[in-house]
């Protein structure tokens, strides 16, 4: 599988710990998200045995980015500044199945470690690449928080000897300081970032793959100078509101050749595990600078449409 076709989704839990909320399995979830889930559950399709969510996601389907451990690998407690007033390092280690720090990694999308940091209301997103100290297995980078709140930290990596599989482990951090939470982010398929206008075309459907096409323009003109960034013309991060499990997102097209540019469109295949609200983040590069556009989509139940289509084909 080429680099552009490998799984490139990273994710983060979106769970606000301020205001009305409830706690389940150690995750704090906004009350409005709970209400939305309850409404969706009431409307959700059921199979003949009465099980909810028929046609969406198998009960034993693996989840990415919702745990600090997977396949014997564990993300250590993360050391980081405790408030917006401090500036220090963000540091962590990954221990392997034998309990020792992992010191050897494969490259995935041109880096051995991708770190996703996002506040649990879906804002303050960062995608960065820490440095490894091979003598200790510690990853670190200089760090300062721009705003207070509860953050989810995701480490996405491929250990040596683990085939092409990437693992995504997560921890949660609380950052002290004055907080202005974003209580609700409306559905939006357009964003303006650094003078670029980015439009997302396509829909998310639970339990089915769909094509998402993102178009980049500037001052009304198509941008055709998109540069390769981490082995692709764009990277899409997709997260489900609440626990923010990753979507399965794959870039379409061949690997970029050295010096090749593209645009204005970038396409991805995405699969939403369930109906609900999703946050999406597109990283793209122009003139050596990386920009991030942000979107909010609502995924619909897919089984009703599938049943209707099957019924129509049968007549």
What pLDDT score was predicted for residue 242? Answer: 84
Please check the confidence at residue 220 and state whether its pLDDT lies above 80: yes
Confidence of residue 312 (pLDDT cuts 50, 70, 90): very low
Q: Where are the domains of the chain?
A: 61-175
Contacts of 185 (CB under 8 A, 6+ apart): 121, 122, 123, 279, 296
What pLDDT score was predicted for residue 62? Answer: 59
What pLDDT score was predicted for residue 54? Answer: 35
Please check the confidence at residue 17 and state whether its pLDDT lies above 50: no
What pLDDT score was predicted for residue 314? Answer: 46
Task: Tell me, letter by letter, the H, E, C secondary structure of the chain.
Answer: CCHHHCECCCCCCECCCCCCEEEECCEEEEHHHHHHHHHHHHHCCECCCCCECCCCCCCCCCCCCCCCEECCEEECCCECCCECCCCEEEEEEEECCCCCECCCEECECCECEEEEEEECCCCCCEEECCEEECCCCEEEEEECCCCCEEEEEEEEEEECCCCCCCEEEEEEEEEECCCCCCCCCCCECEEEECCEEEEEECCCEECEEEEEEEEEEECCEECCCEECECCECCEEEEEEECCCCECEEEECCCCCCCCCCECCEEEEEEEECCCEEEEEEEEEEECCEEEEEEEEEEEECCHHHHHHHHHHHCC
| pLDDT, greater one: 230 or 130 | 130
> What are the tens digits of pLDDT across the range 129-175?
999 999 999 999 999 999 999 999 999 999 888 776 789 999 999 99
> What are the tens digits of pLDDT across the range 273-284?
899 999 999 999
Contacts of 297 (CB under 8 A, 6+ apart): 187, 189, 200, 203, 204, 277, 278, 280
- Residue matched to tokens 């552009």: 4
CATH superfamily of 61-175: Immunoglobulins (2.60.40.10)
Identify the top-confidence range among 43-47, 93-97, 205-209, 251-255: 93-97
Q: List the structure tokens of 10.
A: 């990273």
What pLDDT score was predicted for residue 63? Answer: 74
> What are the tens digits of pLDDT across the range 24-75?
333 344 444 445 444 444 444 443 334 333 334 444 455 777 889 999 999 9
What pLDDT score was predicted for residue 303? Answer: 53
Residue 32 phi/psi, 5° resolution? Answer: -65, -35
> What are the tens digits of pLDDT across the range 117-131?
999 889 999 999 999
> What are the tens digits of pLDDT across the range 293-305?
999 999 998 754 4
| pLDDT, greater one: 73 or 185 | 73
**What angle (nearest 5°) sits at the alpha carbon of residue 118, between those of residues 141 and 161?**
60
Cβ contact 80:87 at 8 Å: no
Confidence of residue 258 (pLDDT cuts 50, 70, 90): confident
Q: Which of 294, 305, 227, 296 is nearest to 266 (CA)?
A: 227
CA distance 12 to 150: 11
Cβ contact 187:296 at 8 Å: yes
Confidence of residue 78 (pLDDT cuts 50, 70, 90): very high
Confidence of residue 248 (pLDDT cuts 50, 70, 90): low
The per-residue pLDDT of the chain, averaged, comes to 80
Q: Which of 125, 240, 120 is nearest to 182 (CA)?
A: 120
């Amino acid at each position: 599988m080429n680099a552009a076709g490998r799984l490139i989704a990273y994710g983060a839990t979106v769970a606000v710990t301020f205001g009305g909320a409830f706690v389940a399995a150690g995750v704090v979830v906004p009350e409005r998200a709970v209400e939305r889930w309850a409404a969706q559950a009431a409307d959700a399709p059921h199979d003949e045995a009465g099980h909810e969510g028929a046609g969406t996601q198998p009960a034993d389907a693996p989840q990415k980015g919702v745990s600090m451990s997977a396949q014997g690998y564990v993300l250590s407690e993360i050391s980081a500044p405790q408030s917006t007033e401090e500036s220090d390092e963000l540091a962590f280690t990954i221990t392997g199945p034998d309990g020792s720090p992992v010191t050897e990694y494969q490259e995935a999308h041109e880096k051995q470690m991708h770190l996703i940091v996002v506040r649990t209301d879906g804002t303050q997103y960062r995608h960065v690449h820490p440095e490894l100290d091979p003598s200790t297995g510690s990853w670190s980078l200089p760090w300062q928080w721009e705003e207070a709140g509860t953050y989810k930290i995701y480490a996405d990596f491929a250990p040596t000897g683990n085939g092409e599989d990437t693992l995504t482990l997560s921890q949660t951090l609380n950052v002290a300081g004055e907080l202005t939470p974003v209580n609700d982010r409306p559905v939006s398929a357009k964003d303006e970032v650094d003078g670029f206008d980015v439009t997302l075309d396509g829909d998310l459907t639970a339990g089915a793959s769909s094509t998402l096409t993102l178009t980049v323009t500037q001052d009304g003109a198509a941008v055709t100078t998109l540069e390769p960034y981490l082995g692709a013309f764009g990277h899409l991060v997709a997260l489900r509101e609440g626990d923010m499990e990753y979507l399965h997102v794959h870039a379409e097209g061949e690997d970029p050749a050295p010096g090749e540019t593209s645009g204005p469109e970038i396409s991805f295949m995405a699969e939403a595990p369930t109906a609900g609200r999703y946050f999406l983040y597109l990283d793209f590069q122009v003139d050596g600078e990386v920009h991030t556009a942000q979107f909010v989509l609502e995924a619909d139940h897919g089984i009703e449409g599938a049943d209707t289509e099957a019924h129509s084909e049968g007549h």
